[in-house]
Amino acid sequence: MSKLILYANALPLVTKTLSATYLVLSLIAMLLRFGTTGGTDSGLDPSSIASQDPARFLILRPGFIISYPWTILTTTFVETNFVFMVLGLASLVAIGSFLERQWGARSFALFVAVTTTVPAVTAALVSIVLYAVRGSAHSGILYATRIGGLAGLVSAFTVGLKQLMPEYSVKLFGGALSFRMNELPGVYTLVAPIMFTLLGDLGSVLLVNIGFLEAFVYLRFYRREGSLLGDRSEAFAFTTFFPEFVQPLIARLSNALYGAAVSCKLITSDEGYRQQNVDLEVGLDNELDTLAAPEDVDADRRKAIAAKALEMRLGSNGPPPTSSDAATVDAK
């Protein structure tokens, strides 16, 4: 128990706060639901059944998004399945603490805010559209669909790991299972939706896919690092998330969407981004090697720091590094 307390105390602030919030809200939801049947045997319509859910004040349902708008903020940190809660907590602690140490508390908190609220609202809107298309006979889409849990945030985390260290290899079970971080988002967005579909969890299926897309868009075009927005390196291009045989098709589709976004001035063009990066690098160091693309230099620096930090954590049997340890790694 003492080791567990030391481990928890060593977590960075944002990760510690999010983990505590997730644990407390999930346990509250479980306690509220303990001993209830949800009205599944009463012959009531889905709206009435959902209205009897004692945890409806914490979990987002598309049909109640107007009645309980605050669930947009709370729903990500509520899991009513104990096994999924434990797995989610482990993912939040392990991956969240690593990303926070690489990006800093403020940047990590903003990333979490964006990749939890936007996917939750988007998933609710998709459910409402599905209901409108299929008709009132399918009201279960509005009231039986529970949009919550860490499925979407974990999907976003995999994108962040790919950005930081795409070629880093992780070996598990004595090397019996190994994979590169570059492959992690694709594996997760393939396996998780299949599992949630088998469980009849439409909300989580939506969150996994929307969380992946939202995380990529945010990290690619909007996350601020110094004076620059996003990461336009080739190693983080959208096509790299897919197998080679479908990359030409994905490239055509993504290029069309990119062109439309630039035309609507939603994002800066690659040319504008490169010019900003060149200006910044020249201002900081006039001896910068002009043969290397500036955005690739910046991306390689982040990946090297992240890989070194992860190697230190995986090689340590003690508690995770403190914030002072992270500062030492960053200083190198």
pLDDT of 93 higher than 70: yes
Q: pLDDT of 224-250, one tens digit each?
A: 887 778 888 888 999 999 988 999 999
Q: Which of 34-48, 77-91, 137-151 has the highest mean pLDDT?
A: 77-91
CA angle, residues 111, 113, 115, in degrees to nearest 5: 65
Where residue 87 falls among pLDDT bands split at 50, 70, 90? very high
CB burial of residue 40 (10 Å; 0-12, 13-18, 19+): exposed
| Amino acid present at 203 | G
Where residue 326 falls among pLDDT bands split at 50, 70, 90? very low
Whole-prediction pTM: 0.81
CA angle, residues 183, 224, 230, in degrees to nearest 5: 45
277 vs 269: CA distance, rounded Å? 12
Q: To the nearest whole percent, how much of the chain has pLDDT over 90?
A: 53
Tell me the H-state helices in 135-201.
140-143, 151-164, 184-198
pLDDT computed for residue 277 by the predictor: 66
Q: pLDDT of 289-320, one tens digit each?
A: 554 555 555 566 666 666 666 666 665 544 55
CB burial of residue 323 (10 Å; 0-12, 13-18, 19+): middle
pLDDT computed for residue 3 by the predictor: 78
